[in-house]
A and B are shown apart, each in its own frame.
Chain A
C-alpha cells in the first residue's frame, strides 16, 4: 500500500513535471507565431502574381528598395536614399553589407536584374515598371533608374518590386517568372532567397508555410523566431482554431464573429479602415441596356438617373445593418491615406427618396425601369448582402432591379466581357496615389489603360489630366490636377461610391502586431508580451 508520504512525493514530482511541460510549451509559444487566412500565397516567385496574399507572404522574405512602415509611410528599404537627378532619372543609394539568405551579397547588379525580371513578359508587375527605360549601374551600391517619361509615382511602384539574387536566379534557371505554357514548375515557385527578416524554411502550397528568422537581417531584429502559416478556407474552422489556441493570429475573421471574439479574454480584435472602396458601376456609355431590351435608350446615360439612384441609397442602413459598423460611408473611390484624398471630397449626396423620385420623373422615368445588378458573392466583405440591400432600396423609387450574384470567377468574366449595365466592385489603391484609381477606372478604355472602366465613361478633359498627372513632377501642380479629376467625376456621378471597407484582425491577447491598412501583416514587428 502506498503511504501518504509517497503519494505526496509522487504528486510533487507530477507537479514539477507538469510545470516543466507547461514551461516548455510556453517557451515554444513565445518563439512561434501560428497564423491563418482563407487563402495561401499562390507562388513564392516574387514577380509572378500581383495579389495581396501572395505579395504578403513574399514581403516577409523579400525586400524592396523602398518599403512602407505600419502606417504606410515610405521608408528606406534596400535603398538608403533616393533622389531625382532629372525629370526622367532617379538615383538610388543602396544599403551596403546586406546579404541574401544564402549568404551572397546584395549589390547593384541584383537591382538591375530584379527590375528587368519584373518587366518580363511573364511578370505580373509589368504595369508597375513599364515606365522604366533602363537601370544603370554606377557602382556596387549606386544605381540610376531612367524612365521613358517623367514618372512621379515611381517610388510608390518600387515598394512592390522585390529584389532577387541574380546568381541564385541564374543558377536555378528562374531568370524570368513561370510561363504557364511550360509543363514544369520552376524552382522559384517553392523556394526563395531574399534579404528579408524571415527566410523560407518550408513550403507546401495550400498546406503549410514555415518562415524562420533571418539572423543577418539588415534592419531591427525581428522578435519571433518562427512563423507558421496554415491556410484554412472555412471561416468557422479558422475561428475555432483560434479559440482553441491552435492559432495565434487570424488575418480575416468574419465580421459576424468579431463581437464574440472580442468578448473572449484570450483574444483581441483590432480594426482599421482599409485602402479599398466599394462602389456601384453604371454603364453610361452603352447605347441601350443589355438587361432590359424593352428600352430603346440607356437611362444610365442621363446624369439625373444616376443621381436618383445615388440618393435612393440609405448608406447608414448598409453601414449599420450589413457591415455592423465596420465600414466608412464614402463619397469618392479612394480612402484616407491615399494621395489626393481629402475630407471635403469624401462627402455623399444626402439620402433623399423624394428628390430621387423627382429626378427620375424629370429624366422621363416616372415609373422607373428594369435593370440587372451583377454582383460577386465571394470577393468583398458581405458583397451579396450589400447588393440585396441596394435592390430593395432602389425598388422604393420604382427601379426594379434583378440581382445576379455570382462567384468571383464568373462575375469578373461578366465584367471583363463588358456584359454588365450595373455592377458592384471594390477598388484598392496599391500605390496610395489617386492616379491608380484614374488609370484603371476613369481613363477612356483601350487595351492598355482604363482596364476596369466598365462605366464606359469617357471625358477628354479627364483623359488629358490623367496623362499630365502621370508625368507631372511638380507635386503641388499634380495634386491640383488630381483634385480636378475628382471634382469632375464626382460632379458627373460616374460611379456610386458606397463605403471604405474596414478590416479587422483577431489575435491572441498576448501577441502585439500592428494592424496595417494594406492588410499585410509585418511579422518583423510582432512581439509577445512577457
Chain B
C-alpha cells in the first residue's frame, strides 16, 4: 500500500509543521476571532491550536494531493492497457472487424496512452467523467448512487472495530495473563488469517441458510435523503448491513486490538507511569488518563488510515454480500475493461486517501500537544 507508507513517513516526522510562518496577518485575524469568542468553530480551533504553519501545510498538502491523483490516474491508464480490450466486450460476437475498428476509433482507443490520458484529464476538468462502456450510464451518477453504500458499510465496520477493538486491547494489556486475553489473542490470529470471502460465506451459511435470521445479500430498508439512501435508520436496513460490516471489521478489529495492547504495554513500562503510581494516583487515573491517552496517538493514525483502506478495499466483502457499493462496481468494471469507471474510481480513492491523511494529521496534532508547533 503505497499511500500508507508514504503517509506514515510524513506524519511520523513532524518537520512539516516547522515551516516558517509567513501568513502573520491571518494569524492576527484568527487570534482576534478566538479572543472575541468566535473560537467555537471547531475547525478554526484546530487551526488556531496548531498554529498558522497549518495554512501553508494545508495548501502544500492540497497541491500534493492533486499531484497524487494525477499520477494515480496516469498509472491507472498505463495499466488499463494490460487489462484487455474493451471493444471486444462492447460489441457482440456478430460484429465484424470493421465494426470493431469503428468503435475503437470512436473511443479514441487507437491513440497513444498519453494522448488518451490528456483527453481524459481535460474532460474531467470540464466536469465530464464520460459514460460507462458497460452500463452506458453516466459514470459520475453511477458512482454517486453507490457511494452511500460503501461509506455506510465502512463507517459501521470501522465503528464495530473501534467499539470492540479498543476495550479488548486495553483488557489484554491490563490483564496479560488472563485466559480471556489468551483467547482474544488467539482469536485475533485466526481472524487475521481467514480470508474475507471465506468468513463472509461462513456467516451467510450460518445466519441466512441455516438459521434464516439475516438476509444473505443486498441492501434493503432504505430511507432516502435527497440522493443519499441510508440503511442505518431501519431495523431491516441493519439486518442487511450487519454481516458485511462484521466481515469487513474482522481485520481492523484484530489490528486495533493488537496495537492498543502493544502501545499500552509499552507506555505502562515508562517512568512517568511508575512515577504516577508512586505518587499514589488511583489505578483508574493511571491506566485511563495517563497510559491510555498516550497509547492512542499511533492508534488514531492507524484507525484513520485503515478507514481509507476499508473504503478502498471493501471489494471482496461487497462482492460476497452483493453489497451495491463502489468496490463491487470496480470489480465489475475490471472484468469489462470499463476504462471511464475504473479511472474515476481510482481518482476517487486517491482523493479519499489524500483527504483522510490530512484529517489524520490534524487529529494527530490535536491529540499530541508536542506536535502543536509554532
Which residues of A line the B interface, CB within 8 A? 40, 42-43, 45, 48-51, 121, 124-128, 178-186, 189-190, 204-207, 230-234, 236-238, 240-241, 243-246, 378, 407-413, 416, 430, 440, 446-449, 451-452
Bound Cα distance A416, B93 (Å): 11
Is B319 engaged at the interface, CB distance under 8 Å to the other chain? yes
**Interchain CB contact under 8 A, B209 and A184:** no
Which B residues touch A184, using CB under 8 A? 131, 138
Query: A234 to B319, Cβ gap below 8 A?
Result: yes
From A45, A124, A243, B95 is in contact (CB under 8 Å) with A124
- In the complex, the answer to whether B94 meets A50 with C-beta atoms within 8 Å is yes
Contact of B335 among A40, A127, A238, A407 (CB under 8 A): A407
Q: How many angstroms from the CA of A448 to the CA of B142 in the assembled complex?
A: 36
Q: How far is the CA of A244 from the CA of B95 in the complex (A)?
A: 41
Chain A residues whose CB sits within 8 angstroms of the CB of B103 once the complex forms: 180
What 0/1 pattern do residues 193 to 209 of B give for CB contact below 8 A with A? 00001000100110011
Complex interface: chain B residues within 8 A of A126 (CB): 95, 99
B134 interface hit (Cβ, 8 Å): yes
Contacts known (A183-B131, A244-B209, A407-B335); A124 close to B83, Cβ less than 8 A = no
Other-chain contact of A206, B130, B204, B332 (Cβ < 8 Å): B332
Asked whether B336 lies within 8 Å of A409 as measured between CB atoms, the reply is: yes
Residues of B within 8 A of A411 (CB): 84
Task: Tell which of B93, B197, B215 touches A440, judged by Cβ atoms closer than 8 Å.
Answer: B93
* Neighbouring B residues of A244 by C-beta, 8 Å: 208-209, 212, 215-216
Q: B107 touching A205 by the CB < 8 A rule?
A: no
Q: Which residues of B contact A408 (CB under 8 A)?
A: 84, 89, 335
Query: Is the pair A180, B216 in contact by a Cβ cutoff of 8 Å?
Result: no
Which chain B residues lie closer than 8 Å to A183 at the CB level? 123, 128, 130-131, 138
Task: Return A263 CB to nearest CB of chain B, in Å.
Answer: 14
Q: Judging by beta carbons under 8 Å apart, are A409 and B337 in contact?
A: yes
Interface size on B, residues (CB 8 A): 59
A186 to B320, CA, bound (A): 32
Q: Which of B293-314 contact A (CB under 8 A)?
A: none
Q: Any chain A CB within 8 A of the CB of B79?
A: no
CB-CB under 8 A for A181 and B107, given A234-B320, A240-B204: yes
| A387 CA / B324 CA spacing, docked (Å) | 34
Interface centre among A230, A440, A451 (most CB of B within 10 A): A451
- Cβ contact within 8 Å between B131 and A413: no
Say whether B271 faces chain A, with CB atoms less than 8 Å apart. no
Mask: chain B, 68-95; 1 = CB below 8 Å from A; 0 = not = 0000000000000011111011111111
Q: How far is the CA of A113 from the CA of B107 in the complex (A)?
A: 27
- Name B135's contact: one of A205, A230, A416 (CB within 8 Å): A205
Contact B137 A233, beta carbon cutoff 8 Å:
no
Partner of B209, one of A234, A243, A440: A243
Query: B18 within 8 Å of A by Cβ?
Result: no
Instruction: With both chains docked as a complex, state the minimum distance between the C-beta of B247 and any C-beta of chain A, in angstroms.
Output: 12
Task: Determine the distance from Cα of A447 to Cα of B208 in the docked complex, in whole angstroms.
Answer: 52
- CB-CB under 8 A from A452, the residues of chain B are 93
Chain A residues in 8 Å Cβ range of B85 = 409-410, 412-413, 416
User: Is B322 an interface residue, CB under 8 A from the partner?
Assistant: yes
A462 to chain B, nearest CB (A): 19
Contacts of B332 in A (CB 8 A): 206, 233
Across the A-B interface, the 5 shortest Cβ-Cβ residue pairs: A50-B92, A409-B84, A413-B85, A447-B97, A410-B84
7 contacts between A and B (CB under 8 A): A50-B92, A181-B106, A232-B217, A233-B319, A240-B204, A409-B83, A448-B97
Cβ of B84 and Cβ of A178 under 8 Å apart?
no
- Cα-based distance from A205 to B130 in the complex (angstroms): 16
Whether B145 sits at the interface, judged by CB under 8 Å, is: yes
* Residues of chain B contacted by A205 (CB below 8 angstroms): 135, 137, 142
- Residues of B with C-beta under 8 A to A451: 93, 95-97
